[in-house]
Amino acid sequence: MDNPLRSVGAVIAGIFVGVVLTVATDALLHAMGVFPPVGKYTPDGPLALATVYRVIYSILASYVTARVAPNWPMRHALVGGGIGLVLSTVGAVITWDMNLGAHWYSIAVAAIAMPCAWVGGLLYERRAGARA
């Protein structure tokens, strides 16, 4: 039997993991001076670094979602990715004219959402299949 609360919880758990890791890494890199102060223009180098760790964290978040999903792990991972796509697109639209950095970064964050969700779900399914 399906448990909608567990499904919602699985998606929220993955999103939580991704957000906490990203915010903590961003804060650390700001404190270390790798990133400029919040609200200031960020050059391409730090944005490329942020893109790399966001890919890793997004895959991990989707893996967590798939791992705790009550059923259909890939579907849950992709739902989390879809939420990430919507939220990152909204973020891109809101910040587009704020001169915080190159536009490629906002586009990249939205573009990686679904592929990372798929990879995270696939990694979980392959690992779970290997244990079976």
pLDDT tens by residue, 14-61? 999 999 999 999 999 999 999 999 999 999 999 999 999 999 999 999
Closest CA to 114 of 66, 81, 65, 76: 81
Q: Which of 109, 52, 118 is nearest to 80 (CA)?
A: 118
What is the predicted pLDDT for the residue at 120? Answer: 98
Q: What is the chain's mean pLDDT, rounded? A: 95
What number of residues does the chain have? Answer: 132
Q: How far apart are CA 96 and CA 119, in angstroms?
A: 28
pLDDT score, position 126: 95
Question: Residue 85 sits in which domain range?
Answer: 4-131
Residue 3's pLDDT is 84
Positive or negative: CA dihedral 83, 70, 54, 23: positive
Residue 123's pLDDT is 97
How many independent structural domains does the chain possess? 1
Residue 93 CB contacts under 8 Å (≥ 6 apart), including other chains: none
Helix (H, G, I), strand (E, B) or coil at 132: coil
Q: Which structure tokens are listed for 18?
A: 């991704």
Please compute the mean of the pLDDT values over residues 71-77 and round it to a whole number. Answer: 96
Share of the chain above pLDDT 90, in %: 93
Is the pLDDT at 132 greater than 90, yes or no? no
- What is the per-residue pLDDT for 130? 72
User: Is the Cβ–Cβ distance between 80 and 61 less than 8 Å?
Assistant: yes
